[in-house]
Amino acid sequence: MNKKERLQIPPVDMPEQDPKQRVTNVDEVPLGYTPEMAILEAKRCVQCKRPFCVEGCPVGIDIPGFIQFIEDGDFEGAIHKIRETNLLPAICGRVCPQEEQCQLTCTIGKARKDPTEAVNIGRLERFIADYEREHGVVTMPPKPTPTGKKVAIVGAGPAGLTVAGDLVRHGHEITVYEAFHKAGGVLIYGIPEFRLPKAIVQKEVDYLEKLGVNFKYNFVVGKTAPVQSIIDDNDAVFIGTGAGLPRFMRIDGENLLGVYSANEYLTRANLMQAYSFPETDTPLISGKKVATIGGGNVAMDCARTALRMGAEKSLIIYRRAEEQMPARLEEIHHAKQEGVEFHTLRNPVRFLGDDKNWLTGVELLKMELGEPDASGRRSPVPVPDSEWVEEIDAVIVAIGNSPNPLVPKDHPELEVTRWGGIVVNEATGQTNIQGVFAGGDIVLGAATVILAMGHGRQAAKSINMYLSSGRWSDLEEALSTDRADVR
Ligand code: FAD
Ligand code: SF4
């Protein structure tokens, strides 16, 4: 097939659950490609000599390489190729913002003059990872010679899991300390089941256990044991504790019953499976009319979860216009399809309650768009004397998260920024304390799965170099001059 013929193949749609049906269950919304669909989509790739898609991928997957295997019908070859650089393909294929990364730079999207018509790299990655899981293909690396070095990883989110997977292959003894009773971080407690089935995350964790990674659950570093004892007992430590501290609006009535942070709401629904209450132990006030405050992906997850928890009306309340929403277009589209109502250019000024402290409503203020602010988006400007009250049964505040403060609080020697993120050397992930590295959302603030994994990969290289050479003050230089040592 020549390039011109490939260019003419339209993008292959992925089947989805019907919107009316899917709000009655928590099953995954997109259903995935069939092998025939995947091969057809793979034919759209022109195998660029300089593949811009790879440059757009934070972990540098050989994208044309794995797509060629799919086109040839060699699905096992494709999974081996992806796993050379990506430890969590079933997860990345589902939740990465590909339209801002690999697909944004894809030649086909540019040639068709529509970035949404790029090769569907994420869908292909998901197809291959699902094929691996469903067909029991196990890609076990050769068993390494033990080095006798011990590494502690604090936090089992995508950053910590990536470090664990990369370092265990070098023969180091890895222990992951996790505050929750399950590994996965936001993948398990935040991102809803209907976007990322938890069985998929668990399968990736099982794989790490098979590689020899030890997990210690219900272990809050800084509470269960001091940070210093973890440092003393190990040759190196990686801190990947994420950005799980919810931000609030700091307005009257925020402590009323029925007002949740997005974290609490989603943790109850996902990790604690409130959707199966009373078979499970955790209840959730479902509310007939639920308002989610915010316009990002987390807000979309909350508003869509509320529908599945039985809300008759689920509202997004956002202070700017829809064009300024930071959520992915796909998430906004899915939310609208499911019946989430978008109430833009309004902002809560206080929450109202009854004499038993239950939420009864929200006082809202109209907004209009002003000049662009520091974010580059047009700013929300209050319209004077435009307040009114809306009856609401439950509110979910989804306006962002800050770095988890527990580890720096217990270990004040650790250098942090003004907003609480751990300070690291960008090239190596080193903190100001010898032998201690950090990465993911605890450094970046709330970011993305693949950026957390990219940080994890970089820190794992540095840790391996540090453990094998003992160099610290010149680690960055050592890494750049001795790449062969750290691969
Ligand atoms: P986390 O995933 O936050 O993991 C940190 C882990 O550390 C947690 O398990 C926590 O329990 C543990 N921990 C914290 N403190 C301690 C301690 N003291 N001791 C032991 N353990 C500790 N990104 C995307 O790319 N695509 C999406 O679609 C997407 N959707 C999202 C939806 C929601 C609702 C949220 C909240 C985030 C979403 N993100 C998404 C962002 C993404 O999930 C995060 O950027 C990513 O998970 C960060 O990874 P991490 O490993 O740094 O931290
Ligand atoms: Fe294929 Fe697009 Fe990557 Fe080119 S940029 S190799 S067409 S996926």
Q: Residue 487 — very low, low, confident or very high, per pLDDT cuts 50/70/90?
A: very low
Nearest to 169 by CA among 441, 476, 457: 457
| 145 domain residue, yes or no | no
Residue with CA nearest ligand 2 atom 1 = 45
List the CATH number of the domain containing 15.
1.10.1060.10
DSSP label of 423: P
CA of 53 to the centre of ligand 2 (A): 6
* Distance separating alpha carbons of residues 381 and 399, to the nearest angstrom: 17
Residue with CA nearest ligand 2 atom 2 = 106
CA distances from 261 to 248, 360, 395, 464, 473 (A): 7, 17, 8, 38, 41
Q: What is the pLDDT of residues 433-462, one digit of tens each?
A: 999 999 999 999 878 888 999 899 999 999
Residue with CA nearest ligand 2 atom 5 = 106
Task: Write down the mean pLDDT value for the chain.
Answer: 92
**Nearest ligand 1 atom to alpha carbon 456:** 51
Single out the residue in 348, 366, 399 at which a domain terminates: 399
Q: How many domains does the chain have?
A: 3
Q: What is the pLDDT of residues 55-103, one digit of tens each?
A: 988 888 999 999 999 999 999 999 999 988 888 899 999 988 888 889 9
Instruction: Please indicate whether residue 70, judged by its CB atom, sits closer than 6 Å to ligand 2.
Output: no
pLDDT of residue 162: 93
Looking at the structure, do residues 281 and 390 belong to the same domain, yes or no? yes
Looking at the structure, do residues 301 and 324 belong to the same domain, yes or no? yes
Looking at the structure, do residues 236 and 273 belong to the same domain, yes or no? no
Q: What is the pLDDT of residues 236-253, one digit of tens each?
A: 999 999 999 999 999 999
First to last CA, the chain: 36
pLDDT of residue 19: 93
Looking at the structure, do residues 260 and 235 belong to the same domain, yes or no? no
Q: What is the pLDDT of residues 269-319, one digit of tens each?
A: 887 877 777 777 777 776 789 999 999 999 999 999 999 988 999 999 999
Looking at the structure, do residues 365 and 474 belong to the same domain, yes or no? no
Looking at the structure, do residues 277 and 262 belong to the same domain, yes or no? yes
Single out the residue in 93, 110, 135 at which a domain terminates: 135
Q: What is the pLDDT of residues 195-216, one digit of tens each?
A: 999 999 998 899 899 999 999 9
Q: Which of 181, 186, 224, 407 to mutate to test the pocket of ligand 1 (most atoms within 8 A of CB)?
A: 186
User: Is the pLDDT confidence value at 477 over 90?
Assistant: no
pLDDT of residue 482: 59
List the CATH number of the domain containing 290.
3.50.50.60
Looking at the structure, do residues 384 and 474 belong to the same domain, yes or no? no
| 142 domain residue, yes or no | no
pLDDT of residue 415: 96
Looking at the structure, do residues 369 and 284 belong to the same domain, yes or no? yes
Single out the residue in 338, 370, 399 at which a domain terminates: 399
Looking at the structure, do residues 252 and 395 belong to the same domain, yes or no? yes
CA distances from 301 to 41, 113, 229, 361, 430 (A): 28, 31, 38, 22, 34
pLDDT: is 42 or 111 the higher one?
42
Q: Residue 485 — very low, low, confident or very high, per pLDDT cuts 50/70/90?
A: very low
What is the reported pTM? Answer: 0.90
Looking at the structure, do residues 213 and 287 belong to the same domain, yes or no? no
Q: What is the pLDDT of residues 4-41, one digit of tens each?
A: 899 999 999 999 999 999 988 889 999 999 999 999 99
User: Which percentage of the chain shows pLDDT scores above 90?
Assistant: 74
CA of 81 to the centre of ligand 2 (A): 16
- State the Cα angle at 459 between 185 and 154, rounded to 5°: 40
| 424 domain residue, yes or no | yes
User: Is the pLDDT confidence value at 136 over 80?
Assistant: no
CA of 133 to the centre of ligand 2 (A): 25
| 171 domain residue, yes or no | yes
Contact residues of ligand 1, CB 6 A cut-off: 95-97, 154-160, 177-180, 185-186, 190-191, 220-222, 240-242, 244, 266, 297-298, 301, 404, 406-407, 440-442, 446-450, 452
Q: What is the pLDDT of residues 357-385, one digit of tens each?
A: 999 999 999 999 999 888 888 999 999 99
**Nearest ligand 2 atom to alpha carbon 105:** 5
Looking at the structure, do residues 16 and 71 belong to the same domain, yes or no? yes
**Domain that includes residue 56, residue range:** 3-135
Looking at the structure, do residues 328 and 368 belong to the same domain, yes or no? yes
